[in-house]
Structure 1
């Protein structure tokens, strides 16, 4: 027993001498040490312990929010770090492992919750079963469970500040340094993320205010990892990474099954993504081959994709079966979706430049334009509101510097001047009182009262000086920084809203452009010829455009042959 105790006590020292300290190492450097576990066990164990100390509270918080049973929470926590140690050689992260661990913890907790629900369903079928764990506060449990769901749905630029500042406990400056963002951007996006989380949770029937939501997140992130849980996680990690049987000594069968199940799921996801990429590559190759072998109709669409009009000489060698004079102009469909022809000029019509040739159905585009117009207006209103908030924040800075602070400073100066005057009078009074006391003209009590009065006036004067000193050195600086931080947040929000407004405007402009393309007019004066293409499987037969048919984007529709340049010749 004594030998075991001595060995356990010397383990940290042996680790320190063989591996060196882990203080100051980044997550990437610690991962490199863990991946070399088979060569330096003590080094890897120390690195793993350091990573768990950094990110353990965040992982524990994710597991607690998703699971009710403390045993399930500990199993999910341990399984998350077992997945980390097994994947340490292939994890690609930036300076912080937190984002990757957060995703793994959510996946493990979700799997653990599914298994726990199945287990409870089996146990519920027994008449002797009774719940061993009291039901937690339902509203708080629902809020915590929804918190990670909505956090996972936030855009990356909003989710990352919450993970670093609220879940991992970094300061704004530390998070800005790690992300290489300005501090104001971190503060602004963090505030925006909290606002988005509050709105989404409110829509789910949960209505925490922003302050309580932030305090809940930070309280969950400050959870301390129990010592027994940390010890068995560290002891089981390296044997699990090396595939040894001793992992079962410190990890239960449920933990090992949970971690292996998540590893299999991650592998399947990776294989699926690789398969999708392979299929996409094969599809592109096959599509290119098919286009190379296609007939006139498909080739005309491909050749003319993205082209408004073009001379027939550009198509003559590529469109067999539909010859036109070299000066004829090709017209294609520029609406980027399938649409129907609802009006059509007769084939062979004499056209002047600008005459209507064809009208395409624009009903769906008109509906999209209406909805997009509403979205554009809402985005513009949001941008104007953000602009006003920023302007008000800037006015508050000016108001404090040129108004409030000056008044506070002048008030303190007045207090100092008054206190100094009162002190001088008290000094003169005491001097007179002492002279009169020497001549027995005033009593001893009166002389003592004058001394006390002077002491009070001196104290009041010193307090006024201290008040001015605090105002100039601390209150002024603190208030200015608070107001400037508010301005930076407002500017970041205004920029975000401006970009959203621009995006909605661009969408509306594109839809309006597509509606304009539904009206096809002649680019020149000449004779209208319908485009034609071979009918598949029927030699010598050609199809052509007609009213009511559906046409595709970039499909060749018409030719206009100039009649004043010898364009009457055609095959």
Structure 2
């Protein structure tokens, strides 16, 4: 049974709803009423916001702050920040994602402040028990997992975080989330799926197994857990007091809120978070005027975009979600996914002639230095061949040495003959000739003497007065005999001289040339044999050198300092011992993570024409969610990648160089890239769902100050997957209807044409 206060609050809330702020009012409408109204109307509007989103905010604060007391301080601080910043926020339908970010920051601040305070206190255990209520180990683990989950949700990009907060934390259906975000249902479904997948990868990156991640998703969101009425009242009262007094001092929650607001003044994160689902709210007066409008359409108005007449809807629905035309910095991105790779990889292949088995290898990711052995192949058969070849090489070397010695001996024999034997034989021949000539000359002199003696004897015997005696006859006969004997000696002398001269002549004309030719032939024969043996020896040496190189190639070395990354093959798991490595097969790559890295991004056909070399890229690596990397497009392919396909679309593998170095990057890490293809400052943008028509002329439904809706032709400009720029036909401050189909019907609206 309700208490008296609850009955009064319910009665006042009913009165508020009856006045035009029913339960279906958007957060922006309630926030505007809080900012513009006074008294009970402002209080009840803010209380409605607290009651609508308080359960989600309190769960975040409890998970991150660590204890109930700090969680309630962070809870109040979150809504104090909303009270102070509410006038500068434009929220179409749900402020839940923005509150989730603020709650994360305030709860972190409470947690840090408590930890800092406890470090200066002695009774740590007592204070922990008093603050934490003595939660058991299982509950502490549950809180830690929940804290990690909320932190990782807070780190998601806005286009993923919003549907995750709306659907998974606030319990909205995907249709409701699409309506609140002003996006097509298919876009919300796709972003929710991708956001959950990115969240799963980030949880794994923080050491939480997939089963633990599933347990986190299974944690009851507590949507049905009612907020304590006292907490709603105290939070609303504090917000009103902070808004009226313009101060946050006096409470711990106020100090937390002041810290977050100070951080906001130094950063634009809070504006970016709200700008994702940016829109102005429809005021209560405008709604009342819309409900009261009746009668024929207003007079035709000239289109701001050019000729033609604007059409005015006379009776718009009582509640129409609108978007204020506010100039924004409109960046158009082409997104895709890819893998991190080394810009200049040092690939190592097996330089072998035949398949060999792996006998040892370094583990994947091992840090190696240049020259370290990474993989060793089986070299036993090559070792046997090398040993046999070593014997053959030594035998060939010995044969070559013998042939060289034989050639040297032949050359020495020729030198010995020409420089020793031949001169000696020639000198001997000349000596014999001289001796023969001397003997012959002596014989001639003796013959002359004998003949003179015989002639003198005959002269004496021929005288008349000389009586020939027997002695004279004997003397004459003796001289005759001596003349004959000397004559024979002369003949022998002449023959000896001729023999000596003939010997010299044979030596010069026959013996010497023949001997030299014979010795030269032996030399040539020895040289030819030496060349043959040398060639055989060289061949055996080359065989041995090749086998030695093959033995060395069985040890695959790191070509530089870096990390080992093994190649992927379809034959089976890689690497592993016993795997057969074929000739020139790529085995591994040594990655120098201190060098340049790149992303091979898969961009799809509809948008690849907008990507050019030199464009800036924002890179999100799934395994490193806390880091952001900048990059530059370095190569855009001329044609699609035939090895990669997407349903109904061609894939273009585009190379993006990552700026700077980061040793936490590893090849193979998956990443999402956003290529900045256009940058439009001060652009008026609307969601695709707000555009009427699938082709020109495009139109917008613009809500007038009197509550009626004008259907106006516009000229559109650039667009991304969710928003489109309005070039002509819309002015700043005008309010665009987000769902014109509710006014015109699906057939006439044809919305989503862009």
In the superposition, the TM-score normalised over structure 2's length comes to: 0.34
Task: Work out which of the two has the higher radius of gyration on C-alpha atoms and give 1 or 2.
Answer: 2
Q: Which has the higher strand share?
A: 2
